[in-house]
Amino acid sequence: MANKPKIILGIDPGTLVMGYGLILAEGKKVSLIEMDVLKLSRHKDHYERLQAIHSSIAGLIIKHKPDCFAIEAPFFGKNVQSMLKLGRAQGVAIATAMHAGLAVTEYSPKKVKQSVTGNGNADKEQVWLMLQRILKISDKPAYYDATDALAVAVCHFYQDSNPLAGLTKSKGWEQFLAQHPERIVR
């Protein structure tokens, strides 16, 4: 990550409660700007919820002027209708960020947990405890959706500031063997 300070907006998509977290990244240090949730359950109509997601994220972007947008990928559940609604909520959030000109990055829940705690199977309490240490915060939020969104933003900071992140990955054994024929034992 360059020396220029960056504001990262992290989103934990949801259809009833959507979490958001904003952090300021300066060099190798991060600090909390804001974290909270958008309560969507008061809207009975699903389309009203999507409008509320759009309006709220657009408002956060106008207010904080983030440099990048990170969102958690939905996990695969058994209820197809819930997955469809969650995908729509995520799509609206992504489209709102892209419309504002932000680069969008998506992370799996396992990747977020791995980046923040070192354990891809960590529970929400473990993630929160690590976020408290990293960001030096004490107030426990009412919803883990807010801390999940904050974790997405911190994950993006770690991925973005990783000097190895930009290196190209090997294309597999075929490429390796083509580049090193002397290593083939016949």
Q: Is residue 68 part of a domain?
A: yes
Angle between helices 144-161 and 124-135 (to 10 degrees): 60
Q: Is 36 in the active site? A: no
The residue segments making up the domain with residue 104 are 6-183
Q: How many CB atoms lie within 10 A of CB 137?
A: 16
pLDDT band at 166 (very low <50, low <70, confident <90, very high): very low
> Is 153 exposed, middle or buried (CB count within 10 Å of its CB: 0-12, 13-18, 19+)?
buried
CA distances from 79 to 46, 50, 60, 85 (A): 16, 19, 31, 10
pLDDT band at 80 (very low <50, low <70, confident <90, very high): confident
Q: Indicate which residue of 26, 34, 45, 72 is catalytic.
A: 72
Q: What pLDDT, on the 0 to 100 scale, is given for residue 173?
A: 67
12 among the known binding-site residues?
yes
Find the length of the chain: 186
> Is 176 exposed, middle or buried (CB count within 10 Å of its CB: 0-12, 13-18, 19+)?
exposed
Q: Is residue 140 part of a domain?
A: yes
Number of domains observed in the structure of the chain: 1
Q: Is 12 in the active site? A: yes
The Cα 101–Cα 122 span in angstroms is 33
pTM for the model:
0.84
Q: Is residue 72 part of a domain?
A: yes
Mean pLDDT for the chain overall: 88
Answer yes or no: are the C-beta atoms of 50 and 39 closer than 8 Å.
Answer: no
Q: Is residue 122 part of a domain?
A: yes
The yes-or-no verdict on residue 165 having pLDDT over 80 is no
Q: Indicate which residue of 36, 145, 148, 160 is catalytic.
A: 145
Q: Give the domain CATH number at 171.
A: 3.30.420.10
pLDDT band at 79 (very low <50, low <70, confident <90, very high): confident
Torsion-angle region of 30 (φ positive above 0: left; ψ -120 to 50: alpha; else: beta): beta
pLDDT digits (tens, 9 = 90+) for 12-53: 999 899 999 999 999 989 999 999 999 998 888 999 999 999
139 among the known binding-site residues?
no
The yes-or-no verdict on residue 168 having pLDDT over 60 is no
Q: Is residue 96 part of a domain?
A: yes
Q: Is residue 1 part of a domain?
A: no
Q: What pLDDT, on the 0 to 100 scale, is given for residue 179?
A: 72
pLDDT digits (tens, 9 = 90+) for 93-152: 999 999 999 999 999 999 999 999 999 999 999 999 999 999 999 888 888 999 999 999
Q: Is 123 in the active site? A: no
Q: What pLDDT, on the 0 to 100 scale, is given for residue 134?
A: 94
Q: Is residue 29 part of a domain?
A: yes
Q: Indicate which residue of 12, 36, 148, 160 is catalytic.
A: 12
3-class SS string, 46-94: HHHHHHHHHHHHHHHHHHHCCCEEEEECCCCCCCHHHHHHHHHHHHHHH
